[in-house]
A and B are shown apart, each in its own frame.
Chain A
Amino acid sequence: MQTQTVKIVVTGPFNAGKTELIRSVSEIEVVNTEKKVTSESEKVKNSTTVAMDFGRITVDNDLVLFLFGTPGQKRFDFMWEILSEGMLGFIVLVDSTRPETFREARGILETFRAYAPTPYIVVANKQDLTDAWSLEDIRVALRLDSAIKLLPCTAKKKSSVKTVLLELLYAILEELDSAKS
């Protein structure tokens, strides 16, 4: 029996907390590629260099969960195809303190959903900060249907990230059940 791998993808605007979220739960040091975009490497082969995070959780002997953090911008759309293969579901992360990014988050959500018709949840990050918007307001601002899970999160806290991951996994189970009936 070979190792199987499953993916959960975390997407959202720049600075939403994707790297932080993955770092909170990954058992390996999170590989992050967005720091080094030197002019040298830019010149050589920028077309294929992607800013992304990569974390891992060993489930058991035969199963590994990968967490991929990816900016949702259009110019990376060649990555989504790769990412959506074997993807269980995805998380759209928004920074609750920066309403100016909500529109972008909405756009990312729509594009990603078009690529990967898998279950997803929306996560309002940085709820520990005093100027964080409330969930109700974020739901309206993002024009989220009431059927879509929107969860509060503080990506710096492992327990909070754990809850978020579980909620996504439950949404995936629900989807499997509804597909059956």
Chain B
Amino acid sequence: MALKGNLSDFSIIQLLNLITLAKKTGALYIESSSKSARLIFREGKLVYATAGMDAMPLIKIMARSKLIPSSMAASLSERYRSLNDMELGITLINSGYLTQDQIFTGITDFFKDIIRGLFTLTDGLFHFEAEEPPPLTSIPLRMTLEDIIIEGSRQAHEHEDLKSEIPSLDVALKFAERPGVNIRDINLNAEEWRVISYVSPKNSIKQIAVVAKLNDFQIRRVVYNLLQAGLVELIRLNNPAAPAPPRMIPARNPVEQRNLVNRVIDRIKTI
């Protein structure tokens, strides 16, 4: 029987679980309005994955895991342009750039991130093409899915909890007038810093998520942490009509920018 349906009925985690338990071989296609992916399995293990339409070149995969310095990636791609992934992998190993383990690590990280990107999809179509093999020239690797399934189910639970704490993303944040006592001891990570730049009664959490490039789960987690720290409070959106995300200047328009700088100068003068 064909394995196909909608992610609203069958989550990506449930699918991966099924494929693992039934030791399936073939390609799982995911297509939602925001994302698409192709995951290929052999006897329940992941052997290949692409996000979107095109496969990411091996050099780029290695560079994103910082196994190859990004400064070198371009020249290596150029030099080895005619090689397929398999040949390139062997060349990189033989020339001493990378070990086989490093190549596997880079690819595994990449595959995991593709799957993580699918965790939050609640809508979209999937279908499974039995026996579809990976491209002949791909690096032969078999990744067990147990870890990522556990991670995904944990995240799903956490997301449910976060949704009950922060049901709507159409609200805004403001800085607490009197922040919590232990404000000096907050440990903010990069995502949290990024969100902080956009805190304003006029920006909805949803808008902040867009500009900070965070998905619903990530933005809820960040906001929850900032709330827990007493740094921000949830408030009703001041300006619910505005659809555009908040803007970070410098604006491209120099007149507008000069105006902004002058306003800042006037304010600083009053300090």
Query: A residues touching B (Cβ–Cβ < 8 Å)?
Result: 1-7, 25, 28-33, 35-37, 41, 45, 48-50, 52, 54, 56-60, 63-66, 68, 78-79, 82, 85-88, 118, 158, 162, 165-166, 169-170, 172-173, 176, 179-180
> 14 A-B contacts, Cβ less than 8 Å apart?
A2-B246, A2-B247, A4-B260, A6-B248, A32-B184, A35-B184, A50-B188, A50-B189, A64-B200, A82-B190, A82-B194, A86-B250, A88-B249, A166-B268
Q: In the complex, which of the residues A5, A85, A172 contacts B261, with contact meaning CB atoms closer than 8 Å? A: A172
Q: Is the CB of B200 within 8 A of A65?
A: no
Cα–Cα, bound, A176→B259 (Å): 11
Given known A3-B203, A86-B250, A173-B258, contact A60–B189 (CB-CB < 8 A): no
Taken together as a complex, chains A and B put the C-alpha atoms of A19 and B197 apart, in Å, by 18
Instruction: Kindly report which residue of chain B lies nearest to residue A59, judged by CB atoms.
Output: B267
Q: Are A63 and B260 in contact (CB under 8 A)?
A: yes
Contact with A along B169-193 (1 / 0, CB 8 A): 0000001000100011111111101
Distance A1 CA – B175 CA, assembled complex (angstroms): 19
Q: In this complex, which of B231, B249, B258, B268 has the most chain A Cβ atoms within 10 angstroms of its Cβ?
A: B268
The reply to whether B202 and A60 contact each other, CB–CB distance below 8 Å, is no
B250 touches A2 (CB 8 A): no
- Given A165-B268, A176-B257, A179-B254, A4–B187 Cβ distance below 8 Å? no
Q: Any chain A CB within 8 A of the CB of B201?
A: yes
Which residues of B have CB within 8 Å of A33? 186-188
Judging by beta carbons under 8 Å apart, are A6 and B254 in contact?
no
B265 at the interface (CB under 8 A from A): yes
Q: Contact at B264–A6, with CB atoms within 8 Å?
A: yes
In the complex, besides A5-B248, A6-B260, 18 extra interface pairs with C-beta distance below 8 angstroms are A1-B202, A3-B202, A4-B246, A4-B249, A5-B200, A28-B175, A31-B184, A33-B186, A50-B189, A60-B267, A82-B193, A82-B197, A86-B249, A86-B250, A87-B250, A88-B261, A166-B268, A166-B269
Could you say which residues of chain B place their CB within 8 Å of the CB of A30?
A: 184
Which residues of the other chain, A, contact B249 by a CB distance below 8 angstroms? 4, 6, 86, 88
Given A4-B247, A54-B196, A82-B190, CB of A36 within 8 Å of CB of B185: yes
Complex CA–CA separation, A24 to B190 (angstroms): 25
Partner of A158, one of B231, B264, B265, B271: B271
Asked if B258 and A88 make an inter-chain contact with CB atoms under 8 angstroms apart, the answer reads no
Is B242 an interface residue, CB under 8 A from the partner?
Answer: yes
Within 8 A of A (CB), among B11-48: none
Chain A residues contacting B186 (CB-CB under 8 Å) are 31, 33, 36
Chain B: minimal CB distance from A20 (Å)? 14
Smallest CB separation, B40 vs chain A (Å) = 30
A2 and B244 within 8 A (CB): yes
Neighbouring B residues of A58 by C-beta, 8 Å: 267
* B119 at the A interface (CB under 8 A): no
Are B248 and A85 in contact, with the CB atoms below 8 A? yes
Cross-interface CB contact of A59 among B198, B257, B263, cutoff 8 Å: B263
Cβ 8 A contact of A88, one of B175, B197, B264 = B264
Closest to A179 in B: B254
